[in-house]
Structure 1
Amino acid sequence: MASENEVSYDPERTGSWLVCQTCGTQFPTNDKRKVTTCFICDDPRQYVPPSGQSFVSLDALRSSGHKNVFTPIAADPERLIAINTQPRVAIGQRAIFVRTPQGNVLWDCVTLLDDETIAKVKELGGLKAIVISHPHYYSTHLEWARAFDCPVYLSKEDRMWLAQQDAKRQNFITENETHVFGTTVLKLGGHFPGSLVMLFEGRLLIADTFMATPSGLGNWDTDAVGAPRKRPLGISSFAFMWSYPNMIPLAPEELLRMWDILKKYEFGSTHGAFPGLDIVKTPAEMKQRVLESMQIQIRYSGHAGHAMLKQTIT
């Protein structure tokens, strides 16, 4: 784990540094003899593909036709803008540009940072801060923080997963609730000990602290001939996993701990880590969907007597 306390953004210095092709994490060297594996991908919450470990660089991505696409999110197009790299890089997650009255905050991060992206973000007003949900999206966050001269907020519990450190940029969240420039950052844990979500004006940005399921995204309002219908009972909207790629679910006690934090807050939509993972309902229905999804996961994993199954929306 290297310490890099450079104040300014210098793409010529860092452009050749190694970037894991599977998760997008940047390592502070271009020497392939020094970095032969990715410690993030070697963890059971991630993976190394059948083709094996491989690395690229920002210079290579910038010269190979990759671009960051800015897409307003339909639920709140003036204030939430998704940033997604095309063609896909690494996991393929999106960052979300959040426009608050106190300034712009970037939720999560994508690996690619180029002149075009910098110009677009500055056109939108720049950044006051970056908040990253968990280590799988640490990617090139120090490149972004230096380019926009802003702090980046990360959970203290997950600092062991940093490939680079910068005491001038990285701020470590220690509380379950932290206010960052007009947003409320909640530490729910689960996927990682410090996994975060962000609440902004009734919008809950969840990354993959929990993830929308196909049935959660489904349209249950009408049947095949357009007649109104009610959503069937017992339908899960979210999955809560310790490892998503390796399909290892979270334990019931962890879900109860997460619920005890989240149940205090109101939100009418959730916005996940990948394009298309947005659910918009009333606040009452959204919270009920989260609770029901937790209870379904617990019940069908063999814990029919667990205390979480007695929880209700109050």
Structure 2
Amino acid sequence: MAAYDPHATDDYLVCTACGTQFPVTDRAALPTCRICDDPRQFTPPAGQSFITMAEVRRGYRNVFHAATGGDERLTSIASEPKLAIGQRAILVRTPAGNILWDCLTLINEETVARIRALGGLQAIVISHPHYYSSHVEWAAAFDCPVYLRAEDRAWTVQQSPQQVFWDGDDVQPVCVPGGESTALAIRLGGHFPGSQVLLFGSHLLIADTLVTTPAGLGSWATDALGTPRGRPAGMNSFAFMWSIPNMIPLSGEEVFAMWAILKHHDFTSTHGAFVGVDIADPNIKQRVLESMQIQTKFAGWARQDAWQSV
């Protein structure tokens, strides 16, 4: 394989709204972003615009943060200042090799060197098309496979032999070359037909397949006088959305189908799409179920009795 050249893509265009990198250098040939023209996304009031990867590299940097919860195996990586959607990637460090969960648009020499110093990457797993960003370049830089769900293949704007479009079963072991499976990619659907989460030990990396809510992050450990109290009934911790920015929720049937898959897996923490939206709680799986029940109830889903069978 040819050595990675981080400047080979300097002239590629990047959507300023969603951060997708296009293998196009002529602005006249790319009047709009197909990701942002989908009703799950949007273009800003100022309209569609693009910048080059060189401009991204000059104007932004990637910052590494320890993930909330005290597990040093999880490291958040986010671009500053905020770039496009502003999602983080999470570096999952395992004895068998490192996995990058989700992806960022910005990839530069500093980021590549930092990750290589931590052991490089053996695999990349991306939750859904809004975070496809520049994953083809990341896969080339680290010479590793990138796991994408086959249902969402039509949303890719670049092709690479390192893309693994898995389908069939709802669970895909993420393996390292010559090693053992270290994590499970789980297709839950919902936001996109192929929306994934990643299960690593007791950690569930959810991106916005499950959207962490303010109530999910809230603390009711004590009241204003310091008196211990419990979490009030009826508070959700997650929302389940077809479009997050346009606030279109999923149907009850879709939410129920997600639980039918997720209920078979145990976890005690969730790690959402952005820095600071980690929840560590031994009861977090029950909170996911309760959140699903709350959303479907207030959406008027007629099959509330179906939850009694789970």
Distance 1:56 1:240 in 2: 32
Name the CA shift for 1:307/1:128 in 2 (closer, same or farther; >3 Å).
same
Instruction: Verify the 8 A CA contact 1:252 1:308 in the aligned structure 2.
Output: no
1:252 — aligned with what? 252
Instruction: Give 1:55 deviation, angstroms.
Output: 0.3
Displacement of 1:308 in angstroms is: 3.8
Structure 2 residue aligned with 1:103: 97
Asked if structure 1 preserves the Cα contact closer than 8 Å seen for 2:14 and 2:51, the reply is yes
Q: Counterpart in 2 of 1:35?
A: 30
SS in structure 2 opposite 1:171?
strand
Would you say how many aligned residue pairs link Structure 1 and Structure 2? 303
Of 69, 72, 80, 2:74 maps to: 80
Distance in 2 of aligned mates of 1:18 and 1:250: 32
Which residue matches 2:292?
294
State the distance in 2 between where 1:252 and 1:30 align. Answer: 43
SS in 2 for 1:142: helix
* Distance in structure 2 (CA, Å) of the matches to 1:286 and 1:81: 21
Three-state SS of the structure 2 residue aligned to 1:63 is helix
Once residues 286 and 298 of structure 1 are traced to their aligned partners in structure 2, the CA distance between those partners, rounded to angstroms, is 18
Between 69-78 and 43-52, the greater mean CA deviation after superposition: 69-78
Gaps of 5+ in 1: 1-5
The match for 2:171 is: 177
- Inter-partner Cα distance in structure 2 for 1:273 and 1:53: 24
Q: Identify the residue that residue 3 of structure 1 maps to in structure 2.
A: none
Matched residue SS, 1:295: helix
Alignment match, 1:211:
211
Q: Which amino acid aligns with 2:290?
A: E
TM-score (ref. length: structure 1):
0.94
Aligned to 2:56: 61
Letter aligned with residue 125 of structure 1: G
Is there any run of 5+ residues in structure 2 with no aligned partner, and where? 176-181
- TM-score scaled by structure 2? 0.95
**Deviation per residue, 1:180-210 (Å, 9 max, x gap):** 1301110000000000000001000000001
Q: In the TM superposition, what is the alpha-carbon distance from 1:9 to its structure 2 partner?
A: 2.7
> Which residue identity does 1:45 align to in structure 2?
R
Q: Pick from 131, 137, 147: which aligns with 2:141?
A: 147
Q: Is the CA contact 1:93–1:274 (under 8 Å) kept in the aligned structure 2?
A: yes
Taking the aligned partners of 1:311 and 1:86, their CA distance within structure 2 comes to: 46
Report the CA distance between 1:304 and its aligned residue.
4.7
**Which runs of 4 or more aligned residues in structure 1 lie more than 6 Å from their structure 2 counterparts after TM superposition?**
none
Residue 311 of structure 1 and its aligned partner are, at CA, apart by: 4.8
Between the aligned residues of both structures, percent identity stands at 56
Q: Cα 1:110–1:158, aligned 2, differ >3 Å: closer, same or farther?
A: same
Q: CA distance change for structure 1 residues 134 and 8 in 2, over 3 Å: closer, same or farther?
A: farther
Give yes or no for the alignment of 1:46 onto 2:44. Answer: no
SS of equivalent residue, structure 1 residue 99 = strand
The one-letter code of the counterpart of 1:302 is: G
Alpha-carbon shift at residue 74 of structure 1 (Å): 2.7
RMSD of aligned residue pairs (Cα, Å): 1.3
Confirm or deny: 8 A CA contact 2:6 2:109 kept in the other structure: no
**Partners in 1 of 2:145 and 2:70 — Cα distance?**
25
